[in-house]
Amino acid sequence: MLQMHFGPSILIVSSWLFLGFIFLDVFQLAIASSNVYIVYMGDRGYDESLLTQDLHHEILSNILGSNEAAKESLLYSYKHGFSGFAAILTESQAKLIADIPHVARVIPNKILSLQTTRSWDFLQVNSSIENGIMSKSHSGSGSIIGVMDTGIWPESESFNDKGMGEIPSHWNGICQEGEGFNLSNCNRKIIGARWYVKGYEAEFGKLNTSDGVEFLSPRDAVGHGTHTASTAAGALIRNASFMGLAQGIARGGAPLAWLAIYKVCWAAGGCSSADLLAAFDDAVFDGVDVLSASLGSSPPLSTYVDDVLSIGSFHAAAKGISVVCSAGNSGPYPQTVINTAPWIITVAASTIDRSFPTAITMGNNQTVVGQAFYTGRMDMNKFYPIVYGEDIAATDADEDRASTCDSGTLNATLARGKIVICFQSRSQRSVATAARTVLAVQGVGLIFAQFPTKDVQFFFDIPSVLVDFVIATSLLTYMEASRNPVVKFSLTKTVIGQALSPEVALFSSRGPSSLSPSILKPDITAPGVNVLASWSPASSPDTDMSKNNIPPLNFKIESGTSMSCPHISGIVALLKAKYPMWSPAAMKSALITTASLKDEYDQIIVSEGAPHKQADPFDYGGGHVNPNKAMDPGLIYDMGVSDYINFLCGMGYNNSAISLMTKAHTKCRKSTGLLVNLNLPSITISELKKSLTVSRTVTNVGPVNSVYTARVQTPAGTTVTVQPSTLTFNSTIKKLKFRVTFCSQLRVEGRYSFGYLSWEDGLHVVRTPLIVRTVIHDFYSQT
């Protein structure tokens, strides 16, 4: 074994975050060959960052043989929030470092993908509400939100600094210049901006920006980063709309919060985890309060000590920074939720009460209604022939595939000049694929039948109306009864307040966590469907916009957990402005225990799916966020680094790996209760055999003299006992511990059932989700 004495270190291979900028796409994960590696050394061993950097250089010099080779190899030295570095190494060099004592593991490189005028009013985050979260938090003044994304379009009106306070004295960040971006692009709103490309270029070569579709700077060429930043903290903009739709006032949740931009993702197709970790390191040094990251990796999930986003967020949370991440877009399937570390706030996506009805009129003057963003590309008074994809299949195409308008399945002669109706299938779920197929054969419009969902997609080149299977079948019936079936589209309308909402979005990834099923994920849901926010006019869709008389877009409607994530980031910034000493765990607790389980009409929230069903904690965590109640939660479940160490121990990670990560000598005690007793604002028991008692501690943040009484909605198949059933707080007693005992009433292998423990004092209802799955003791030995 190679003997070297540099102090403890852990080696982790660079991961790559590929951005799928169509946000309904399922996260795709693949292994790639890479020569970029991350040497992660846990918390800093030195207080002086220069000493830490010298240590990194010494390690590389010894491995590579010279100082010059080390300088050429080194990409980043992580020295602020934690210790480590990113470097270009061969596989054999990586193996040598892996043999150094205390190096925990070498992880293969991965490729991952990314994951308003109405939404904030829908959440009742409004300055006109007396004693609401906006007024109590002064619109987020004093909070700094860091956004890790594709950059920002600084000229957007959402980022003007009118009414903004002076840049805080504790801010250590910079305004990093680059192509199309200089110091003047930062202001009292955008107080910092950085960009990271070394890891990306080491992997894929120099980024070509000569075609004008990307900028080597914080400037956003994609639109995604501008959208998320303006959703979290954009200024109030009147008469915002997407091509005339969803017109109204656009604003962020924390309009007086400052923004710090960390561009880690690139239009050419990726964001390197070496770059991402550098951004985390800088953000900790810069002094942000909240980090918003709409990205992650789909299952199978990497372990928490292997995943760069989990590592970076751990060190951020340890420094008091709340990290908010998207839950993923792989729904409605179970066990697909991502970003499941307990120190992360993981956000699902749900709908708001705005819809975009679009009428389809048949030749017999009958009308059906779908959804679209149709603003008039065809002759509005003209009827067009309508055909079914299956009936115009190409000669060599399977009719079943043609019915879905899968790629290359339609006959161009029979489709030309017609509107084509297609049906979603298990193998072809994508309306984008159908639109491209119809456009390729010169069809003039698309009607796409899909599972019922409020999510709407827009295509510049071809009008596309989304309908459910019932409406599509009625159109087929008309077509069969008519000799020359024709239809026409009416302009889309914007309608508010006539749709049951919120509902959990079809695409939103569901729990339980495949990595840690005893930790409830997602944590919370927020608006993520058809969200209007600022956009980068440099972002060109796959079309010639000028040819279609479409001006550059300053606002755009998008859907995805990428859109719900910044809603929670904005709310956390408001909470931080009011409660600057609250920990990230306290923030999360306030969100979860005050969330709503019912929609605007006092009906139980529904989860979109096939079919729709009553939503449960695996769909939305604690429920739909209620920002005004989160401002006054009554009780909180708090946690710190020691709790996270217990979690890592409970996950089975070895003492040395945890010690390196936390800079605390750790000797994990043998206990089966470490995970279920983690002080989360939820209780999840993935294997209840006979009975189990778990404990929690709550902290009173409400009236000093308070008495809370327990009320339990018992999960099916169990009995639940709470001891004590009353909690009495006063000026000397601010924290109290209680125990909850679960007993199984089933003698069969059960499925997950759900309930709630609510602590009530007449003013507050502190609701804690209960999730239990019963199992037979020694089930396999009995078969």
Catalytic residue positions?
A: 149, 224, 562
CA-CA distance, 475 to 360, in Å (whole number)? 10
Structure tokens at 445: 């419009």
Provide the residue type at 43 as one letter. Answer: D
Cβ neighbour number for residue 412 with a 10 Å cutoff: 12
Q: How many Å apart are CA 301 and CA 103, to the nearest integer? A: 21
Write the CB contacts of 128 (distance below 8 Å, at least 6 apart in sequence). none
Q: How far apart are CA 578 and CA 139, in angstroms?
A: 10
Position 224, amino acid: H
What contacts 12, CB < 8 A, 6 or more positions away?
A: 37, 38, 39, 40, 84, 105, 106, 107, 306, 308, 311
Give 564's contacts (C-beta < 8 A, 6+ positions apart): 326, 327, 347, 348, 349, 350, 508, 525, 526, 527, 528
Q: What share of the chain is helix, strand, coil (3-state, %, to 5)?
A: 25, 25, 50
Mapped to the 3 state alphabet, what secondary structure does 551-564 carry? CCCCEEEECCHHHH
Do the beta carbons of residue 61 and residue 72 sit within 8 Å?
no
Residues in the chain, overall count = 783
Helix and strand numbers, DSSP H then E, in the chain: 20, 41
CB of 253 closer than 8 Å to CB of 567: yes
Instruction: Give how far the C-alpha of residue 567 lies from the chain's centroid of Cα atoms, to the nearest Å.
Output: 10
CA distances from 444 to 387, 394, 419, 488 (A): 11, 18, 6, 11
Query: What six digits make up the tokens of 288?
Result: 């942000």
- Kind and range of the H or E run holding 277: helix 273-286
- Asked whether 81 and 284 are in contact (CB, 8 A), the reply is yes
DSSP 609-662: SSS-EE--HHHHTT-B--HHHHTS-SEE----HHHHHHHHHHTT--HHHHHHHH
CA distance 351 to 526: 8
Indicate the burial class of 238 (C-beta count within 10 angstroms; 0-12, 13-18, 19 or more). Answer: exposed
Cβ 585 vs Cβ 320: under 8 Å: no
Residue 39 in tokens: 């040497």
Q: Do the Cβ atoms of 13 and 34 come closer than 8 Å?
A: yes
Q: What is the DSSP string of 81-132?
A: SS-EEEEE--HHHHHHHHTSTT-------EEEEE---SHHHHTT--TTSTT-
Distance set, CA 35 to CA 19, 32, 73, 739 (Å): 20, 10, 10, 51
Task: Report the candidate in 146, 142, 157, 140 with the shortest Cα–Cα distance to residue 259.
Answer: 146
**Residue 706's Cα: distance from chain center in Å?**
36
E strands, 280-366, where? 290-293, 295-296, 322-326, 344-350, 354-355, 357-362
